[in-house]
Amino acid sequence: MGAAQRDFHAVVFDLDGVLVDSFAVMREAFSAAYAEVVGPGAPPFEEYSRHLGLYFPDIMRMMGLPPEMEEPFIEASRRLTGRVRVYDGVPEMLASLRDAGLVTGVATGKHGWRARALLEAVGLSPLLDVVIGSDEVSRPKPAPDIVQACLDKLGVPPGQAMYVGDAPADMRSARAASVLAVAALWGGDGQGPEALLAERPGLVCARPSDVVAAAVTGDA
């Protein structure tokens, strides 16, 4: 944490890798979709994981994979929802932020309806004020649109908000939206901390409680 003091009124989060551990489910869903649409062979999940945080159709285009993979990927993810787990400390983090008078939101690379269904399934919905997916904005991450849309619904200006993510696209989206870019290191999935820290986030948090400390005290 730095010496600069800010008056935070909102904390916006990415979903996968920040609030919930869905990495194993993503791997299985991606493999199932690849086998169904592309056919035999090893699915390039490691390459896919380097693009986490982006909108699935955009990742398919970047990887040169068929867009038809999206439907079976979504269906497999839905079927495996019961295996998604909330990270330790996340419910307490969200409750503490709410108790301190801050509002919270989710801005995710997922479709909005998928994100809301998942958050309902894992019991986090009551602790969040707004959930927006990439299909609900004109430009998904790393553009600022999704973070800006979330803040508009929360009624909080960018200077009083932070965006917590675990992927380079999250940090870029936060900076483009003029909010504090916060790197979440507790997930440990996807691209790993090196790529995330290379984006020079404004704040690095090793555990969910660090987010509360920074947001409530304003020491960020």
Active site residues: 14
Beta carbons of 162 and 136 less than 8 angstroms apart: no
Question: What is the Cα–Cα distance from 27 to 95, expressed in whole angstroms?
Answer: 30
Torsion sign, CA atoms 110, 113, 114, 118: positive
Secondary structure of 100-118 in the HEC alphabet?
CCCEEEEEECCCHHHHHHH
- CB neighbour burial string for 34-72, b if at least 16 within 10 angstroms, e if fewer: beebeeeeebeeeebbbbbbbbbebbbeeeebeeebbeb
